[in-house]
């Protein structure tokens, strides 16, 4: 199966060629190379995926080249393919290929398109390296690679200060997680004497219950290792505590949000936990922690999502919340369900993001939903796609016929697994998940109603006014980057911006003469394809992911007992997701269609609670006070007192001063007078003679 080599390295090749050569052959060729490369990778990935679903393919490892052979430590570049990898392959290559295509339309006005496409392909390559890793070090390579690509892409419009800040924030928070991951890898090597994943997983069960001494404390080895590794997963997958970078990452172009911050990179943590599932199975305490974090994130992000105004931020919190589902599914041992949700989520969340991108594109980069309204008549195709995505994420489906949109199958499976696990933490996760599902339904429909229903409200949007002013309703005149530089989006952070009064419908028809139009076909085709995925992915693939151990073929720890228990949960549990979904829908309908004064009244009535949610539980403020400010203070101290006052003064600057003085002296001695030269020679001679004699 050497096609895996092509799948993985074609994006790298395309990225290098497009990134370095675009000046030679132009932007269009660069875009075509990267996009074509991804479509080839995608076309090669699906047969692999289907072969594994058929259950007739064994996991295998394709060696690439030697990497490090040093004493006990040996690891090579190799591509591992098994069921787990195959799932990630199709997710990554499909979404990436569609995002590449989508970007033709979305980024059409940008002057730096080759760079954008090269970064996208580079990201895809590193992500593929991550999921095909056969040892922890290669996984770390991919892990860091996606972090780098994410940094580059969030800060793609680097002239925009908020984008640069968001890129740095994402990178730094990921470093926090990476430190845990690194320590986990070091510890694993220490304990198992290898970084080879198969070898570790084989040895892991035997290590259960063993202890390790750290700072004269006896600690459970596997728990420590798994917790450290999980810290890495928390960082990458934006779990509670390390989640703060994800909403800000929305500063990046929307295709990036769809690819990296919804479908692929942020799911790397889930993938890692599933890949190392036999290790986690040997550490029950760690699994409990995973469940708790997952459940807490799931609820937390959903609550924040209900209050945000920025369309991308709502979807970002939604992503955070859905990742929480995946983690607590993994935490209770339902790795198959976690991977299934990862799989379906990739489709419907990419769809939602790309749909949102299409809306933003139509609305001239206005992202505040308060300035939307009634868009379904203007951009009907986008509306249909978003509707499908919303039906999928809220889990619409009919239990009795086992048919529904993608999220119905995967989310129900997760809730059932949490309930069926029978542990206290499992029950906690179930209730958290159920409440979160209600909120998911609410904020998703809120988004839909605010955007596509009601009357147009964009007359007061600065972006629209700017566009009308600038180019009379047409927006082909300036690139995004320029746009960002001159006029940073007014709604970068809806939470801190109350400058606009919410517009009322009194002003004529609320459109100010601006009429959004549908996005180009390059953007609509990906929406159509993803719509198909969002509608059918759950229904078609659920038997494979959930019912069959042979499909997994040892790629994850398969809990036969739990899978059996899942079928035996009470009917109300099975229906719970559907019930809360309907409640959420009803509330959203009431508040945003029936009587639009309800949200304002509710927010006023629940003042402190609303503000707490609206300000994202004050995590940013807390971190700013606890970490950022002291860090700056400490940094300033070390800079001014330690570096400038100490090291520089006595080190480089001091040495430079001495050298400078020496140079001046050497010049002075070199007077040009013959007599003084002769004198120095003789003095030198006398000095040497007397030194030798003494």
Partner 1 sequence: MDFSTSLALIAPELVLSLSGLVLLLVAAWAGDRSARVVSVLACVALGAAFALCIPVVSGGLAGPDRIAFDGQFRADAFASLAKLMIYAASLAALILAPAFLERIRSMRAEYPVLVLFSAVGMSIMVSATDLLTLYIGLEMQSLAAYVLASFVRDNTRSAEAGLKYFVLGSLASGILLFGMSLTYGFTGSTAFDAIGVAVSGELNTGALFGLVFVLAGLAFKISAVPFHMWTPDVYEGAPTPVTAFFASAPKVAAIALLTRVLMEAFGGQVEAWRQIVVFLALASIVVGALGAIGQDNVKRLLAYSSINNVGFILIGVAVASTQGVSAMLVYLAIYVPMTIAGFVAVLMLRDGAGDPVERIADLSGLSRVRPAVAWCLMIVMFSLAGIPPMFGFWGKFVVFQAAVQADMVVLAAIGIAASVIGAFYYLKIVKVMFMDEPAGVIEPAGGQPGNASLGALLAICTLMISPFGFLATGWLGALADRAAASLLLLA
Residue ranges binding partner 1 (CB under 8 A): 659-660, 662-667, 669-670, 672, 674, 676-678, 680-681, 683-685, 687-689, 691-693
Query: Cα–chain-centroid distance for residue 140?
Result: 16
Rounded Cα distance between 320 and 453, Å, is: 26
Nearer to partner 1, 540 or 664 (CB): 664
Of 109, 104, 111, 1, whose CA–CA distance to 45 is shortest? 1
Rounded Cα distance between 560 and 291, Å, is: 19
Nearer to partner 1, 653 or 676 (CB): 676
* DSSP symbols for 74-120: EEEEEEEESHHHHHHHHHHHHHHHHHHHHHHHHTTT-TTHHHHHHHH
Rounded Cα distance between 332 and 326, Å, is: 10
Nearer to partner 1, 73 or 658 (CB): 658
Nearer to partner 1, 206 or 666 (CB): 666
CB of 642 to partner 1, least distance (A): 23
Nearer to partner 1, 532 or 687 (CB): 687
CB of 271 to partner 1, least distance (A): 40
Point out which residues pair with 135 in neighbouring strands.
Answer: 196
CB of 694 to partner 1, least distance (A): 11
Nearer to partner 1, 50 or 659 (CB): 659
Judge whether 213 and 224 are in contact, CB under 8 Å: no
Nearer to partner 1, 215 or 692 (CB): 692
Rounded Cα distance between 131 and 271, Å, is: 8
Nearer to partner 1, 507 or 661 (CB): 661
Judge whether 410 and 389 are in contact, CB under 8 Å: no
Rounded Cα distance between 82 and 291, Å, is: 26
Q: Alpha helix locations (H) across 209-253?
A: 221-236, 245-248
Rounded Cα distance between 133 and 4, Å, is: 12
Of 406, 386, 387, 385, whose CA–CA distance to 395 is shortest? 406
CB of 676 to partner 1, least distance (A): 8
The first and second tokens of residue 512, run together, are: 């100010």
The first and second tokens of residue 394, run together, are: 């809220």
Nearer to partner 1, 502 or 688 (CB): 688
CB of 315 to partner 1, least distance (A): 46
Judge whether 485 and 158 are in contact, CB under 8 Å: no
CB of 693 to partner 1, least distance (A): 7
69 φψ region: left (φ > 0), alpha (ψ -120 to 50), beta (else): beta
Judge whether 4 and 63 are in contact, CB under 8 Å: no
Q: Strand pairing of 403-404 and 217-220?
A: unpaired
Nearer to partner 1, 633 or 689 (CB): 689
Burial class (CB in 10 A: 0-12, 13-18, 19+), 213: exposed
CB of 689 to partner 1, least distance (A): 5
Nearer to partner 1, 210 or 660 (CB): 660
Residues 6+ apart with CB under 8 A from 589: 445, 449
CB of 668 to partner 1, least distance (A): 10
CB of 657 to partner 1, least distance (A): 12
Instruction: Tell me how many helices (H) and strands (E) the chain has.
Output: 31, 6
CB of 674 to partner 1, least distance (A): 6
Nearer to partner 1, 600 or 684 (CB): 684
CB of 682 to partner 1, least distance (A): 8
Coil, helix or strand at residue 242: coil
CB of 661 to partner 1, least distance (A): 9
């Amino acid at each position: 199966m050497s096609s895996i080599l092509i799948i993985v390295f074609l994006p790298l090749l395309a990225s290098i060629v497009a990134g370095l050569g675009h000046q030679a052959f132009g932007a269009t060729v660069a875009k075509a190379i990267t996009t074509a490369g991804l479509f080839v990778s995608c076309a090669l990935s699906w047969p692999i995926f289907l072969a594994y679903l058929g259950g007739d393919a064994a996991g295998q490892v394709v060696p690439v080249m030697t990497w490090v052979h040093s004493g006990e430590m040996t690891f090579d570049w190799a591509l591992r393919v098994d069921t787990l990898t195959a799932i990630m392959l199709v997710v990554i290559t499909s979404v990436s290929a569609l995002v590449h295509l989508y970007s033709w339309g979305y980024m059409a006005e940008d002057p730096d398109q080759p760079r954008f496409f090269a970064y996208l392909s580079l990201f895809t390559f590193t992500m593929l390296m991550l999921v095909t890793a056969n040892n922890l070090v290669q996984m770390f390579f991919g892990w860091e690679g996606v972090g780098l690509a994410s940094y580059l892409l969030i800060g793609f419009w680097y002239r925009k200060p908020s984008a640069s800040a968001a890129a740095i924030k994402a990178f730094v928070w990921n470093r926090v997680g990476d430190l845990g991951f690194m320590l986990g890898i070091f510890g694993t090597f220490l304990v198992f004497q290898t970084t080879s994943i198969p070898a570790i997983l084989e040895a892991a069960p035997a290590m259960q219950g063993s202890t390790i001494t750290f700072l004269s404390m006896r600690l459970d080895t596997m728990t420590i290792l798994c917790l450290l590794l999980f810290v890495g997963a928390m960082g990458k997958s934006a779990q509670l505590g390390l989640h703060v970078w994800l909403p800000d990452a929305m500063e990046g172009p929307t295709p990036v949000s769809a690819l990296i911050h919804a479908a692929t990179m942020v799911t790397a943590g889930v993938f890692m936990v599933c890949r190392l599932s036999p290790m986690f199975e040997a550490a029950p305490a760690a699994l409990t922690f995973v469940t708790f974090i997952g459940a807490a994130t799931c609820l937390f992000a959903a609550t924040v999502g209900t209050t945000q105004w920025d369309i991308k931020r709502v979807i970002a919190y939604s992503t955070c919340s859905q990742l929480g589902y995946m983690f607590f599914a993994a935490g209770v041992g339902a790795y198959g369900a976690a991977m299934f949700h990862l799989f379906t989520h990739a489709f419907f969340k990419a769809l939602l993001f790309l749909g949102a991108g299409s809306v933003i594109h139509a609305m001239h980069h206005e992202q505040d939903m308060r300035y939307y309204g009634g868009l379904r008549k203007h951009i009907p195709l986008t509306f249909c796609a978003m509707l499908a995505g919303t039906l999928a994420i809220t889990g619409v489906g009919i239990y009795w016929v086992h048919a529904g949109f993608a999220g119905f199958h995967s989310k129900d499976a997760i809730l059932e697994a949490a309930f069926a696990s029978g542990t206290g933490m499992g029950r906690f996760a179930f209730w958290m998940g159920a409440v979160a599902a209600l909120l998911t339904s609410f904020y998703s429909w809120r988004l839909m109603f605010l955007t596509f229903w009601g009357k147009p409200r964009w007359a007061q949007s600065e972006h629209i006014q700017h566009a009308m002013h600038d180019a009379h309703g047409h927006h082909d005149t300036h690139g995004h980057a320029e746009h960002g530089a001159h006029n940073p989006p007014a709604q970068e952070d809806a939470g801190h911006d109350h400058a606009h009064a919410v517009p009322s419908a009194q002003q004529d028809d609320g459109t100010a003469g601006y009429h959004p139009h549908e996005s180009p076909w390059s953007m609509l085709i990906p929406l159509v394809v993803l719509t198909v995925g969002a509608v059918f992915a759950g229904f078609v693939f659920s038997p494979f992911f959930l019912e069959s151990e042979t499909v997994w073929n040892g790629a994850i720890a398969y809990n036969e007992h739990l899978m059996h228990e899942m079928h035996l949960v009470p009917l109300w549990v099975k229906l719970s997701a559907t019930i809360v979904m309907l409640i959420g829908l009803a509330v959203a309908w009431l508040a945003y269609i029936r009587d639009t004064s309800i949200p304002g009244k509710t927010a006023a009535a629940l003042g402190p609670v609303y503000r707490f949610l609206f300000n994202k539980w004050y995590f940013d403020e807390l971190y700013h006070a606890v970490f950022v400010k002291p860090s700056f203070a400490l940094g300033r101290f070390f800079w001014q007192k330690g570096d400038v006052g100490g090291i520089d003064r006595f080190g480089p600057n001091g040495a430079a001063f001495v050298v400078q003085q020496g140079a001046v002296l050497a010049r002075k001695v070199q007077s040009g007078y013959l007599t003084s030269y002769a004198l120095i020679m003789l003095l030198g001679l006398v000095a040497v003679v007397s030194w030798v004699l003494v």
